[in-house]
Amino acid sequence: MPVSSTQRLFFTLTLQPTLARNIVHWRNQTFDVQRPARPTPATQLHLTLAFLGDTRPAQRDSLCRIAERLQNQPFSLTLDNLGHWPKAGIIWLGPRDSPRPLLALASALRAAAVRCGLPQPATPFSPHITLFRRAHHPLILPSQTPGWSVSFSHFSLYCSELTPRGSRYTELQRWSLGAPHAV
Protein backbone atom coordinates (compact mmCIF):
# COMPACT_ATOMS: atom_id res chain seq x y z
CA MET A 1 0.00 0.00 0.00
CA PRO A 2 1.52 3.39 -0.92
CA VAL A 3 2.60 5.59 1.98
CA SER A 4 0.29 8.36 0.73
CA SER A 5 -2.77 6.33 1.71
CA THR A 6 -1.80 6.47 5.36
CA GLN A 7 -2.87 9.25 7.71
CA ARG A 8 -0.92 10.56 10.70
CA LEU A 9 -3.44 10.12 13.50
CA PHE A 10 -3.80 10.65 17.24
CA PHE A 11 -6.50 10.32 19.88
CA THR A 12 -6.94 13.48 21.86
CA LEU A 13 -8.98 15.57 24.26
CA THR A 14 -9.96 18.93 22.84
CA LEU A 15 -10.39 22.16 24.77
CA GLN A 16 -13.41 24.44 24.66
CA PRO A 17 -12.56 27.52 22.54
CA THR A 18 -13.10 29.86 25.51
CA LEU A 19 -10.67 27.92 27.67
CA ALA A 20 -8.13 27.76 24.84
CA ARG A 21 -8.36 31.55 24.39
CA ASN A 22 -7.96 32.08 28.15
CA ILE A 23 -4.87 29.88 28.21
CA VAL A 24 -3.34 31.78 25.30
CA HIS A 25 -4.15 35.13 26.92
CA TRP A 26 -2.49 34.01 30.17
CA ARG A 27 0.47 32.53 28.27
CA ASN A 28 1.05 35.76 26.36
CA GLN A 29 1.06 37.76 29.59
CA THR A 30 3.14 35.31 31.61
CA PHE A 31 5.88 33.90 29.41
CA ASP A 32 8.81 35.74 27.93
CA VAL A 33 9.90 33.08 25.49
CA GLN A 34 11.96 34.21 22.51
CA ARG A 35 12.17 32.80 19.01
CA PRO A 36 12.73 30.13 17.75
CA ALA A 37 10.22 28.93 20.36
CA ARG A 38 6.84 28.74 18.69
CA PRO A 39 3.58 29.19 20.65
CA THR A 40 0.81 26.72 19.86
CA PRO A 41 -2.19 28.55 18.34
CA ALA A 42 -5.35 28.50 20.50
CA THR A 43 -7.17 26.36 17.92
CA GLN A 44 -4.48 23.68 18.21
CA LEU A 45 -4.24 23.32 21.98
CA HIS A 46 -5.11 19.75 22.93
CA LEU A 47 -4.18 16.91 25.26
CA THR A 48 -3.01 13.85 23.36
CA LEU A 49 -4.23 10.51 24.71
CA ALA A 50 -2.39 8.25 22.26
CA PHE A 51 -0.23 9.08 19.26
CA LEU A 52 -0.80 6.60 16.45
CA GLY A 53 1.50 7.89 13.73
CA ASP A 54 1.09 6.75 10.13
CA THR A 55 -2.09 4.69 10.08
CA ARG A 56 -3.58 2.70 7.22
CA PRO A 57 -7.33 2.99 6.49
CA ALA A 58 -8.00 -0.56 7.75
CA GLN A 59 -6.17 0.20 11.01
CA ARG A 60 -8.12 3.46 11.39
CA ASP A 61 -11.40 1.61 10.87
CA SER A 62 -10.48 -1.02 13.47
CA LEU A 63 -9.51 1.70 15.94
CA CYS A 64 -12.81 3.50 15.38
CA ARG A 65 -14.73 0.28 16.03
CA ILE A 66 -12.83 -0.24 19.30
CA ALA A 67 -13.26 3.42 20.33
CA GLU A 68 -16.97 3.18 19.73
CA ARG A 69 -17.27 0.26 22.17
CA LEU A 70 -15.29 1.87 25.01
CA GLN A 71 -17.32 2.82 28.05
CA ASN A 72 -14.77 4.97 29.87
CA GLN A 73 -16.17 7.57 32.21
CA PRO A 74 -16.20 11.38 31.87
CA PHE A 75 -13.87 13.20 34.25
CA SER A 76 -12.52 16.56 35.37
CA LEU A 77 -8.97 17.63 35.98
CA THR A 78 -7.12 20.72 37.13
CA LEU A 79 -4.52 22.33 34.89
CA ASP A 80 -2.20 23.33 37.71
CA ASN A 81 1.22 22.14 36.55
CA LEU A 82 3.81 23.48 34.14
CA GLY A 83 6.85 21.74 32.73
CA HIS A 84 9.69 22.09 30.25
CA TRP A 85 11.24 19.26 28.27
CA PRO A 86 14.29 21.04 26.82
CA LYS A 87 15.39 18.12 24.63
CA ALA A 88 11.97 17.87 22.96
CA GLY A 89 11.70 21.67 23.04
CA ILE A 90 8.28 21.58 24.69
CA ILE A 91 6.81 23.80 27.39
CA TRP A 92 3.59 22.31 28.65
CA LEU A 93 0.58 22.78 30.89
CA GLY A 94 -1.00 19.78 32.59
CA PRO A 95 -2.57 18.32 35.70
CA ARG A 96 -0.45 17.74 38.81
CA ASP A 97 -2.76 14.82 39.63
CA SER A 98 -4.14 12.70 36.81
CA PRO A 99 -7.65 11.40 37.49
CA ARG A 100 -7.99 7.64 37.20
CA PRO A 101 -10.54 7.81 34.34
CA LEU A 102 -8.04 9.84 32.29
CA LEU A 103 -5.31 7.26 32.85
CA ALA A 104 -7.76 4.45 32.07
CA LEU A 105 -8.83 6.11 28.81
CA ALA A 106 -5.27 6.69 27.63
CA SER A 107 -4.36 3.15 28.59
CA ALA A 108 -7.34 1.70 26.69
CA LEU A 109 -6.48 3.71 23.58
CA ARG A 110 -2.81 2.79 23.72
CA ALA A 111 -3.80 -0.87 24.05
CA ALA A 112 -6.17 -0.51 21.08
CA ALA A 113 -3.34 0.99 19.04
CA VAL A 114 -1.05 -1.93 19.84
CA ARG A 115 -3.82 -4.40 18.92
CA CYS A 116 -4.10 -2.66 15.55
CA GLY A 117 -0.36 -2.93 14.91
CA LEU A 118 0.60 0.60 15.95
CA PRO A 119 3.37 0.31 18.56
CA GLN A 120 3.21 2.57 21.60
CA PRO A 121 6.07 4.01 23.65
CA ALA A 122 7.22 2.13 26.73
CA THR A 123 7.27 5.43 28.62
CA PRO A 124 4.27 6.12 30.86
CA PHE A 125 1.48 8.39 29.64
CA SER A 126 2.29 11.94 30.65
CA PRO A 127 -0.78 14.15 30.14
CA HIS A 128 0.16 17.58 28.81
CA ILE A 129 -0.97 20.42 26.59
CA THR A 130 1.91 21.78 24.53
CA LEU A 131 2.14 25.56 24.97
CA PHE A 132 5.38 26.10 23.02
CA ARG A 133 7.49 24.04 20.64
CA ARG A 134 11.14 24.54 19.71
CA ALA A 135 11.85 25.82 23.21
CA HIS A 136 15.23 24.18 23.75
CA HIS A 137 16.87 26.90 25.85
CA PRO A 138 16.78 26.81 29.65
CA LEU A 139 14.14 29.02 31.21
CA ILE A 140 12.47 29.73 34.51
CA LEU A 141 8.84 28.70 34.52
CA PRO A 142 6.12 30.74 36.23
CA SER A 143 5.58 29.44 39.75
CA GLN A 144 1.88 28.75 39.24
CA THR A 145 -0.99 28.58 36.75
CA PRO A 146 -4.52 29.93 37.16
CA GLY A 147 -5.44 26.29 37.93
CA TRP A 148 -8.25 25.89 35.43
CA SER A 149 -10.65 23.08 36.22
CA VAL A 150 -11.78 21.30 33.04
CA SER A 151 -14.41 18.64 32.40
CA PHE A 152 -14.14 16.21 29.51
CA SER A 153 -17.17 14.36 28.16
CA HIS A 154 -15.80 13.17 24.84
CA PHE A 155 -12.57 12.25 23.08
CA SER A 156 -11.61 12.55 19.43
CA LEU A 157 -9.56 11.07 16.63
CA TYR A 158 -7.48 13.70 14.84
CA CYS A 159 -5.45 13.75 11.67
CA SER A 160 -2.22 15.75 11.64
CA GLU A 161 -0.81 17.03 8.36
CA LEU A 162 2.70 18.41 8.33
CA THR A 163 2.91 21.62 6.32
CA PRO A 164 5.73 24.16 5.89
CA ARG A 165 3.78 26.43 8.27
CA GLY A 166 3.48 23.76 10.97
CA SER A 167 1.04 20.99 11.74
CA ARG A 168 -2.56 21.21 10.56
CA TYR A 169 -5.04 19.26 12.69
CA THR A 170 -8.46 17.98 11.58
CA GLU A 171 -10.97 16.19 13.77
CA LEU A 172 -12.12 12.98 12.05
CA GLN A 173 -14.47 11.56 14.66
CA ARG A 174 -15.47 11.98 18.28
CA TRP A 175 -17.01 9.69 20.90
CA SER A 176 -18.91 10.36 24.12
CA LEU A 177 -17.41 9.25 27.39
CA GLY A 178 -19.75 7.10 29.43
CA ALA A 179 -21.76 5.89 26.42
CA PRO A 180 -20.84 3.21 23.90
CA HIS A 181 -21.61 5.18 20.73
CA ALA A 182 -20.23 8.00 18.61
CA VAL A 183 -21.31 11.61 19.35
Contact positions toward ligand 2AM, by CB under 6 A? Answer: 10, 48, 51, 90, 130, 160
Smaller CB separation from ligand 2AM, 71 or 170: 170
Smaller CB separation from ligand 2AM, 72 or 160: 160
Report how far residue 108's alpha carbon sits from residue 179's, in angstroms, rounded to the nearest whole number.
15
Report how far residue 27's alpha carbon sits from residue 33's, in angstroms, rounded to the nearest whole number.
10
CB of 10 to ligand 2AM, least distance (A): 4
- Return the active site residues: 46, 128
Residue 76 pairs in a beta bridge with 151
CB of 180 to ligand 2AM, least distance (A): 25
CB of 12 to ligand 2AM, least distance (A): 7
Smaller CB separation from ligand 2AM, 35 or 87: 87
